[in-house]
Amino acid sequence: MKKLRKFILLTIGLILLFPFAQAQTEDFYIDRGLDSEEEGNFATAILYYDSALMLNDMNAIAYYNRGVCNSALKRYGSALVDYNKAISIDSTIADAYYNRGLVYDAMDNPVLALADMEIYTQMHPDDTLGYLALSDLLFKQGEYSRAIAANQRAINAGLTRKAIALKNQGVCYYKLGTNSMAEYLLSQAIIESPSFDEAYLERARVRVEMELYKDAYDDIYTYIQKHPNEVDAISIISLCNFNLKKYEDALINYNQLIDLQPDNGNWYFEKGNCLIKLKRDSEAEESYTTALKTSKNTGWILVMRGVARFNQNKKEEACFDWQQARLLGEEEGILLYTKYCQED
């Protein structure tokens, strides 16, 4: 959160909230509050700002700074009240719009968050962080083209960490389905900042879509060294391993995902697919059966369990699965049932 220092030239006597101190001025309490903020003592800082407001309840800076502290403590309702009051007293405090926008975002109010961030960027057209925040809010609302424009303005304004904007641009183009441009921009982000983990993650995601599984694997392997238990990353590397026909490695990955998310039926389904490729049909059947308990993709799981059963010479059980898949409208179930189960 952004901080302001403003010294108020008004001196009024006060019975202090702090018994060890004597009556002081508004600027004294604001200054002490800022010192406490810098030390991470937000609750103490709030008490200092309360003291300043007891001297002058129209002190916009005290409201603003108390809002910063409440935001840091995730007291978003109180922070919103403070920022509203600060803006009502002094509408020129641009940082109040920026921070209030972040609070609205944290409170799942994207419309008001976006409105505040647009005001902030109008007041500070050269502030790159404002454009980055604006692009993030636009991205969350699916306005990818506008998010790209906001990111570009951050770059044009001389963004110090240009890699962030390039990464954001790449993700927006990915969402728009322009994968080649997305890959290019994410590659530029990595050139700009070779240790930028998130750029590797997002480029891996794009490369999977482009079916560049070896390149995607290299990216996600780089990312996963620092984030070994992240579900998203493990799911990407497992997909790469499977498509690179490294089924044993993919199986290890899906077992990791099952350990992390034991109620996710999709991981049991994908594990079953690995086991099928490894010709471990009995284990595959068991994995598909577990997947059926929690997954919504019932039809395709029935098709694959039928395959596992058929490979074990359990034709009657396989035909039962394919018949159920057929009734669910699964085309592959219809084809397999017609080929192997209908009497001549």
Three-state secondary structure string covering 170-234: HHHHHHCCCHHHHHHHHHHHHHHCCCCHHHHHHHHHHHHHCCCHHHHHHHHHHHHCCCCCCHHHH
Alpha carbon distance 128, 303 (integer Å): 52
Report the topology of domain 1-121: 1.25.40
Distances (CA, A) of 83 to 62, 69, 79, 96, 181: 10, 11, 6, 6, 40
Decide if 278 contacts 251 (C-beta within 8 A). yes
- The CB-side HSE value for 34 (13 A sphere, CA atoms) comes to 14
Q: Walk along the chain (344 residues) and give the pLDDT tens digit of each residue.
A: 554 443 332 333 333 344 334 458 999 999 999 999 999 999 999 999 999 999 999 999 999 999 999 999 999 999 999 999 999 999 999 999 999 999 999 999 999 999 999 999 999 988 888 888 999 999 988 999 999 998 888 888 776 678 888 999 999 999 999 999 999 999 999 999 999 999 999 999 999 999 999 999 999 999 999 999 999 999 999 999 999 999 999 999 999 999 999 999 999 999 999 999 999 999 999 999 999 998 878 999 999 999 999 999 999 999 999 999 999 999 999 999 999 998 64
On whether the CB atoms of residues 10 and 25 are closer than 8 A, the answer is yes
Task: Determine the pLDDT at residue 74.
Answer: 94
Asked whether the beta carbons of 46 and 69 are under 8 A apart, the reply is: yes
What CA–CA distance (Å, rounded) separates 108 from 80?
13
Note whether 161 and 151 are within 8 A (CB). Answer: no
SS3 (DSSP) at 165: helix
- Here the tokens at position 4 are 């302001």
C-alpha distances out from residue 275 to 129, 208, 238, 250, 260, Å: 48, 22, 13, 10, 20
Question: Is 309:302 a contact under the CB 8 Å cutoff?
Answer: no
Q: Judge contact between 154 and 133, C-beta under 8 A.
A: no
The CATH class given to the 232-339 domain equals mainly alpha
Question: What are residue 147's phi and psi, to 5 degrees?
Answer: -65, -40
The domain limits of the chain are: 1-121, 125-209, 232-339
CATH superfamily name and code, 125-209: Tetratricopeptide repeat domain (1.25.40.10)
